[in-house]
Structure 1
């Protein structure tokens, strides 16, 4: 089965095939351009469902946070937001997947003209970045898995950070987490659905919030 998959992948021009932790075929290391950087995701690494959706969501986030001198990227994955944001801001990324953080750091080091990027492997479900640490940032981007980020959102709500961009693939947990932020004084400035999961019922949503924003 592996040989058959490899043969078909070669014929289709695939650079790499991974099956669980196994990499039975790699013709070259895949590279994906992310702004000025070239990202080399680890086998099985998370990316958005389409490059068009990813670029559109990143443009919304960058526009919202463009005046932030320092940005925290929480649940950063391999850095598709961090690497773009670093063109204008210093960025600190936090993510539970060590391989994703390794890819992010390598891409940031190799990219020309980026602001400083720091990163840490951190389980944000059990050990969220506390409000007192977040308070030094001017912007936050939050892109958690489907079940949301209850503990981390609670810390954001008490941080005083002015601008937050929340990217979610589950409307139910998004609404739950937004309730916490709105009750803490954040105003929803934009809700943008993105139909990146074609031919399915799922939808991605980008929500831009501002602390004490205009009516």
Structure 2
């Protein structure tokens, strides 16, 4: 992977590994052999490559430079990843677009994913794994899932911001 200038990377290698482990643990134990996984707010693909070991990944990201870097790295590695440029705040995926996916993984920016969650909740995707660095946004974004019948099946705190009170959280929801 060749990150473009100004690209976001996780704060520490250990924190990144813990997030990846928690995301993979949040997926269903048994996914169909050709399972499709949507990754929303994919960035450079930190999670995409790990997810590609469990299914075919469609990685959505709004930043053109990140999409180009992810597509190039996926092509070079022969990974089952399709990188798609899409601003999910302005053009969130609608419920019919989400139907084919066995799981959705999202790692939104600090502000969360309010626009996307309003459409994700009624899509009835069997498993949703949400990575958050903002507990208030996570709580707000989880409400529509709860109202749509999802329940929390796993929650993992990740303390990757050493010497600060900030935590990442990985929460898996199932229907």
TM-score normalised by L of structure 2: 0.94
Post-superposition CA distance 1:13-42 (Å, at most 9, x none): xxxxxxxxxxxxxxxxxxxxxxxxxx2211
User: Deviation above 6 Å: which 4+ runs of structure 1?
Assistant: none
After superposition, what is the alpha-carbon deviation per residue over 1:118-147, rounded to whole angstroms, capped at 9, x for unaligned? 121111001001111001100000100111
133, 148, 165: which one pairs with 1:184? Answer: 148
Query: Which residue of structure 1 aligns with residue 138 of structure 2?
Result: 174
RMSD: 1.1
1:101 aligned residue: 67
Number of the residue aligned with 1:67: 30
Q: Which has the higher contact order (CA 8 A, sep 6+)?
A: 2
Corresponding residue for residue 91 of structure 1: 57
Q: 129, 144, 147: which is aligned to 2:108?
A: 144
Q: CA shift at 1:202, angstroms?
A: 1.4
Deviation string, structure 1 residues 67-91 (Cα, Å, up to 9, x no partner): 3411000000010111111122100
Deviation at 1:206, TM superposition (A): 0.5
Corresponding residue number in structure 2 for 1:159: 123
* Aligned residue runs from structure 1 range 19-98, under 5 A: 39-65=1-27, 67-68=30-31, 69-98=35-64
For structure 1, the 5+ residue unaligned runs are: 1-38
- Aligned partners of 2:171 and 2:53: how far apart in 1? 22
The one-character-per-residue Cα deviations of 1:44-64 (angstroms, maximum 9, x if unpaired) are: 111111111111111121232
TM-superposition CA deviations, 1:126-174 (whole Å, max 9, x none): 1001111001100000100111111101111011100010000000110
Query: Quick check: which has more Rg, 1 or 2?
Result: 1
Task: Report if aligned partners of 2:61, 2:88 keep a CA contact under 8 Å in 1.
Answer: yes
